[in-house]
């Protein structure tokens, strides 16, 4: 099943997405780059190799295995009530996305998880290659949390795979440095997380990083009032203040980073715009 869905359909779609947004962000740049693009691409891809291997060889099989086993165990919200299959499909998709919103908050708020998620946030530019820059430790942690969510939701195996493909595509999309037509992005942002919205989450200003946790649907941040949109992209300084020296962000140092003593967030004094909280060009 994983081979016939994820490998045969998911992988070509994700490679296509990558190529499309790679070209788009080259032609229509949203935020000015501060680092050499190719150097970052090499770093981000090499750092991502262990996480990638774990995703395909452990994470996805584990999620599908749990969902298959759960068809016997019948634990989880979706098994509590009857109803048409499409309804359970929509319900599981929404709740899987909501569980990832919560997981993302935990990655920021629990010190042990922040150690690993920090590797992703230390990128000093934000583009499609950042969507691969995850420490493999974060992937291991997510197996437990997202595995529990899969069971509690009672998601069907096919749903788990489809959600995962959309999740990966959404992650590529909202990290990309593509300048979409502003009105199009504003319309998309009503429902989904867009590059300008997620760009604010990667800001060096703590209050801005502590917002916009959603992955696919943007309404989780709206519901929980963790949304922050009123920031011009050219005002964002991307990264983590205490880790802003690119000489410290080599492949070896990034892989070791979670196991070192983690520096405090040095707050950059910058007044927050508390005005309308509407998306800015
Ligand atoms: Zn984050």
pLDDT in tens, 99-140: 999 999 999 999 999 999 999 999 999 999 999 999 999 999
Between 158 and 5, whose confidence is greater? 158
* Distance in Å, CA 56 to ligand 1 centroid: 22
* Distance in Å, CA 4 to ligand 1 centroid: 31
* Distance in Å, CA 5 to ligand 1 centroid: 28
Residue 4: per-residue pLDDT = 75
Q: Is the pLDDT of residue 97 over 70?
A: yes
Q: Provide the angle, in degrees to the nearest 10, between the axes of the packed helices 157-175 and 85-109.
A: 50
* Distance in Å, CA 228 to ligand 1 centroid: 14
Average model confidence (pLDDT) for the chain? 93
* Distance in Å, CA 201 to ligand 1 centroid: 7
Q: pTM for this structure?
A: 0.93
Q: Is the pLDDT of residue 45 over 80?
A: yes
What's the pLDDT band for 1 if we cut at 50, 70, 90?
confident
* Distance in Å, CA 106 to ligand 1 centroid: 9
Q: Is the pLDDT of residue 21 over 80?
A: yes
Q: Report the distance separating Cα 205 and Cα 119, nearest Å.
A: 17
Section 61-82 average pLDDT: 92
* Distance in Å, CA 72 to ligand 1 centroid: 35
* Distance in Å, CA 121 to ligand 1 centroid: 7
Residue 81: per-residue pLDDT = 84
Q: Is the pLDDT of residue 32 over 90?
A: yes
Residue 186: per-residue pLDDT = 95
Between 221 and 9, whose confidence is greater? 221
Section 32-40 average pLDDT: 94
* Distance in Å, CA 166 to ligand 1 centroid: 18
73-77, 187-191, 264-268: which is most confident:
187-191
* Distance in Å, CA 184 to ligand 1 centroid: 24
Choose among 193, 237, 44: nearest CA to 127: 44
* Distance in Å, CA 213 to ligand 1 centroid: 7
Residue 212: per-residue pLDDT = 97
User: CA 264, 269, 270, 272 torsion: positive or negative?
Assistant: positive
* Distance in Å, CA 224 to ligand 1 centroid: 16
* Distance in Å, CA 79 to ligand 1 centroid: 32
Percent of the chain's residues with pLDDT above 70: 97
* Distance in Å, CA 38 to ligand 1 centroid: 23
What's the pLDDT band for 272 if we cut at 50, 70, 90?
low
What's the pLDDT band for 266 if we cut at 50, 70, 90?
confident
What's the pLDDT band for 275 if we cut at 50, 70, 90?
low
Residue 88: per-residue pLDDT = 92
* Distance in Å, CA 75 to ligand 1 centroid: 30
Section 228-239 average pLDDT: 92
* Distance in Å, CA 142 to ligand 1 centroid: 14
Between 275 and 161, whose confidence is greater? 161
């Amino acid at each position: 099943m994983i081979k016939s869905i994820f490998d045969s359909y998911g992988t070509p779609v994700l490679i296509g997405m990558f190529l499309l947004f790679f070209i788009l962000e080259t032609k229509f740049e949203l935020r000015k780059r501060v680092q050499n693009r190719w150097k970052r691409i090499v770093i981000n891809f090499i750092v991502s190799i262990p996480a990638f291997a774990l995703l395909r060889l452990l994470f996805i099989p584990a999620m599908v295995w749990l969902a298959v086993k759960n068809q016997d165990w019948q634990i989880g919200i979706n098994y509590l009530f009857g109803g048409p299959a499409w309804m359970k499909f929509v319900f599981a998709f929404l709740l899987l996305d909501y569980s990832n919103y919560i997981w993302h908050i935990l990655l920021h708020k629990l010190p042990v998880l922040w150690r690993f998620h920090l590797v992703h946030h230390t990128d000093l530019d934000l583009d499609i290659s950042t969507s691969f820059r995850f420490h493999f430790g974060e992937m291991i942690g997510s197996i437990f949390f997202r595995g529990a969510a899969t069971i509690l939701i009672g998601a069907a195996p096919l749903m788990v795979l489809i959600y995962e493909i959309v999740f990966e595509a959404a992650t590529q999309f909202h990290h990309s440095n593509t300048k979409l037509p502003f009105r199009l992005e504003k319309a998309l942002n009503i429902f989904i997380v867009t590059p300008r919205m997620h760009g604010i989450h990667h800001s060096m200003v703590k209050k801005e990083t502590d917002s916009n946790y959603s992955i696919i649907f943007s309404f989780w941040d709206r519901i929980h009032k963790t949304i922050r949109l009123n920031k011009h992209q050219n005002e964002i300084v991307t990264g983590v203040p205490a880790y802003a020296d690119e000489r410290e962000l080599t492949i070896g140092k990034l892989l070791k980073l979670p196991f070192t003593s983690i520096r405090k967030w040095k707050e950059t004094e910058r007044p927050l715009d508390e005005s309308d909280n509407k998306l800015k060009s």
